[in-house]
Amino acid sequence: MASTLAIEIAVRSYLNFESNLRCVLDGRAVQHGPSGEVDATMDLEENAPGGRILAIVANNPVESTEGSVLVFKRAHEQISSSTPLEPDLSLLAVIPITKDVSPTMSQLKSRPITLDLRPGKYIPPQPQPMVLRLQAPGHEYAISTYSTDELRNFVGECKRLQSIANASGSDPGEWTWLRTHSLFPRPDLRTLLDDASFRLSSACAGQPGDEEADLMAIREAWIREELDASLGNYSKSRKLKLKIGTFNVNGKIPSQDLSQWIRPQNAKISTNGTMTLPPIKNISPFTLTNEDVQDYLALKAKGDNDDKATSEEGVDINNSDPDILVFGFQELDVSAEALLISYTTDREDMWLNSIFSALGEAGESYTKLTSKQLVGMLIIVLVKTDIVTNISDVRTSAVGAGFMGLMGNKGASAVRFTLYNSTVLTFINTHLAAFDDYTDKRNSDYHNIVRRVNFLPNLTEVSEEGDFRIPESLFQTDAVFWMGDLNYRIDLPDTDVRGLIGGVTRDYNLHDLLQHDQLLKARRDKVVFEHFREAEIRHFPTYRFGFGIATDARGYDLKRRPAWTDRILYMASPAHVRVSQTTYEPHPEITMSDHRPVSASFDLEVSELDTQAYKETAEALLQKLGDFEDSDKVAKLKITPSEVDFGKVGYKRKVIKEVQVQNVTEVPAAFRFVSRSEDEAIFPKFLAVSPKLGIILPNSSITLTLTIEIDDYLAQTFNLGMEHLQETLILHTEQGKDHFIILSGQYQPTCFANDIPTLCRLPGPIRTAENWDPLSPKKQAANAPREIIRLLHWLMENAGDVCDLFCVRGDANLVEDIRECLDTGDDFPKFEDAAIYARSVAEVLVTLLQALPTPVIPASLHQRCISQTDRDEGLEMLLSGVDGATLNVWLTLTAFLACHIQRNDDKEIEGVKMSEILSCIFAPILLRDKPEEAPPISPLAKRNFLILFLR
């Protein structure tokens, strides 16, 4: 049983530093009728479902003039020892104490009982609980308790604050101290971006799991989703411009004009463009289709907005100065004396003056909001003076991550603040572990920083009863922007890195370099920065530059491998902060350090909350739910249809079906999906379901969306004989029964995602091969896959004059039709534009090669490819290393590419020869890495091997 002290500690965890806990009442919700009578037959055990804790909080620890009742629900407690445990609470309601609040108490009348006066049978009458009935606009609670003293204190304090409220006549909507007592404490941003079903307990048919905890999780997820959906009812949108800069200054003091980095339109010199790539016009899209890798060379970063943004006054905000400027510095001071924690602001003052100097006349419209320094790490926030009054609750934090995980030469300095009393923005500047091989240490630094960064409120005075400030974590925010020298390197030999940086096919080189970037690989593996986004990198590495003769042609230090160490990433709640990144670039003109500064610009759309409207919306949602999880009634669902036929399901073709789920009872129904057994997944890999959990209000319905899509990985399995899709989904009603949804469909086999030997054993087009067993060898196997040869023959006869073949995508519908013809054996469709037709056929060929489970040149041979110096040596190596059909594919394809190069030898694309472009496109496809089988080799080595066969 939780003690009164444990309850008070749990309640205080919800309070801000302005609030004072006056008293608590521990009890249980009981049923009440219209006249106030309560049900005396209900079980009153403290830990039974329905446990409630009421707390009165006030705004001042000495003379409280404004008060509120917080209503908490107590989760079921498992008591295993005599140690007092803090109860697990969730906030149900916030009720300001005004003249409209009516607290009354009475004693619960006992039922008539028959006394047994026989010896040994007599049981003395048990004391009857007291009942508090609390009424307020939109609220009515009946709480039973055995603690008469707590009840009297509660009612007395409530009436005292009520009399003060009556006398003052103040509006609860203006009680700023109460605004932070949200019905839903600010969650961890990562949990909002996670699939909510991940937070549910393990369950399967007949074993529902921890239903009480699941109900709470589903309830919270549903309320947040409903609040987000009705955001426009209690908030208005504000548009802002943000600019972030990061710069490792290597201990230097400012000695150059920073305008190019701070405010380019105020710069005295123009960008020379030596590091930033021009817009891409003719890079092949086929080098970008690896699903594990972002489209780094797409013209825009994912999520960018093409629409021209304007403010409410009609001002073009894309051409205006940022409203918020955030600059992160690393290695501000590299002296030995500074490695212990340095508090001097001399360096900060120098850089701040340089920033304002770079702003020029625009600097007059900015003011420094705050800053935070930890030895060499400094973060500075400047804001326009006209929005300062809309910023509140500014907090800072810093943690060291250097020697022993504590020294301040590495670590983080961070700032957060609240905009418009509702939206919290967080900015963190970090410097992680150095050196090429220290990837694991950098990953560890990241997690160490995430765990230790906390933001305490800025206090001017502390409560006499003690300081109960509750810090908020790094991710208890609406958006977090992460900048700094993250020190992640490129996992390629130094000569390859420099060769790719200096090559003429720089767009392709940049893409290949990024495949080996340590940070991108760690993010793909979800080791660090999960849920963060980073705009496409369109610039060359920003580290390490040197001076004098010990540098290469681009100025990189010959002793250190170039790398993208300086990065800016972000994570945002899509419902509350809409982020559109407009720039991400280095500034090579600033050469005072061995790093080049980097900047990123963003258009933000944030929410300005109407606190009272938000509160009313939230409470209305809670009223719709009531205490349904404590109800004795069982919700019943009707599913239409309960059997879903997807019809024909093809490769990379989405098939979408909808199912209606209706709640036919008078109580809300919480639902989730469960698996058939503990060893099975809830959903098959080919199926996506939305939503996966939720609440259906009484006599209402929702629509389930079921989507099937077969990708390369799934097609590999399905092509081995799975023709009929048969699955059963189990929709579980919490505290209710299971419902079954039967899925069926007919898989259409495809030649894609089959290996070369399998394709050769096909007796004809795969759709016409009835009763064909792909695992049994065939005596008369083809010399090469018919599908690949068919595409190459078509291109040889029809695409000779299309010089940008493989560099430009074809028509999407035509591509799909051609793919279908390969599977059915039908003639290719007619299409008027010959160039678009050729590009479409070329796209299908590349897609077919990419979908091969085993690349044309197996990973086990890649190391041998490096040592080949001419075509004859390469051919001899292939003769001994691959089967005949694979060798035929290689020779036929390279022969066609060589012919295409010869036909277009006098043509260049963006000044680059056709042979160099085609080697960039096809080398990573034909010699695809498979790290689980063999270590990856250099992209340049792959290209060089392919070029041996293209001459």
Q: What is the pLDDT, as a whole number, of residue 4?
A: 78
Do the beta carbons of residue 332 and residue 343 sit within 8 Å? no
Task: Tell me the C-alpha distance between 155 and 684, whole Å.
Answer: 56
Task: Tell me the C-alpha distance between 794 and 797, whole Å.
Answer: 5
Task: Tell me the C-alpha distance between 165 and 173, whole Å.
Answer: 13
List the one residue out of 868, 842, 869 whose CA is nearest residue 925. 842
Q: What is the pLDDT, as a whole number, of residue 921?
A: 96
Tell me what the mean pLDDT of segment 784-809 comes to.
Answer: 95
Do the beta carbons of residue 481 and residue 604 sit within 8 Å? no
List the one residue out of 413, 351, 422 whose CA is nearest residue 377. 413
Q: What is the pLDDT, as a whole number, of residue 140?
A: 82
Q: What is the pLDDT, as a whole number, of residue 566?
A: 98
Q: Which residue ranges form the domains of the chain, and what is each CATH number?
A: 4-34+48-77+85-108+128-177 (2.30.29.110), 241-264+321-460+468-605 (3.60.10.10), 629-748 (2.60.40.10), 783-948 (1.10.555.10)
Predicted confidence (pLDDT) at residue 118 exceeds the cutoff of 70: no
Q: What is the pLDDT, as a whole number, of residue 405?
A: 55
Q: What is the pLDDT, as a whole number, of residue 310?
A: 37
445-477: per-residue pLDDT in tens? 999 999 999 998 765 434 333 344 457 899 999
Q: What is the pLDDT, as a whole number, of residue 2?
A: 61
Q: Is 809 exposed, middle or buried (0-12, 13-18, 19+ CB in 10 A)?
A: middle
Structure tokens of 501?
A: 């940086």
Who's near 223: CB < 8 A, 6+ residues apart?
Answer: 183, 184, 618, 621, 622, 625
Task: Tell me the C-alpha distance between 323 and 420, whole Å.
Answer: 14
Do the beta carbons of residue 17 and residue 457 sit within 8 Å? yes
Could you identify the residue written with the tokens 């304090």? 157
Predicted confidence (pLDDT) at residue 551 exceeds the cutoff of 90: yes
Structure tokens of 576?
A: 């509350």
Do the beta carbons of residue 32 and residue 38 sit within 8 Å? yes
410-441: per-residue pLDDT in tens? 999 999 999 998 899 999 999 999 999 999 99
Q: Is the pTM of this model over 0.75?
A: yes
List the one residue out of 785, 765, 787, 761 whose CA is nearest residue 774. 761
Do the beta carbons of residue 443 and residue 523 sit within 8 Å? no
555-604: per-residue pLDDT in tens? 999 999 999 999 999 999 988 999 999 999 999 999 999 999 999 999 99
The confidence band for 293, taking pLDDT boundaries of 50, 70 and 90, is very low
Predicted confidence (pLDDT) at residue 939 exceeds the cutoff of 70: yes
| One-letter amino acid of 341 | I
Tell me what the mean pLDDT of segment 943-951 comes to.
Answer: 95
**Percentage of residues in the chain with pLDDT exceeding 90?**
62
Strand partners, 724: 746
* Three-state SS sequence of 768-793: HCCCCCCCCCCCCCCCCCHHHHHHHH
470-505: per-residue pLDDT in tens? 578 999 999 999 999 999 999 999 999 999 998 888
Q: What is the pLDDT, as a whole number, of residue 301?
A: 30
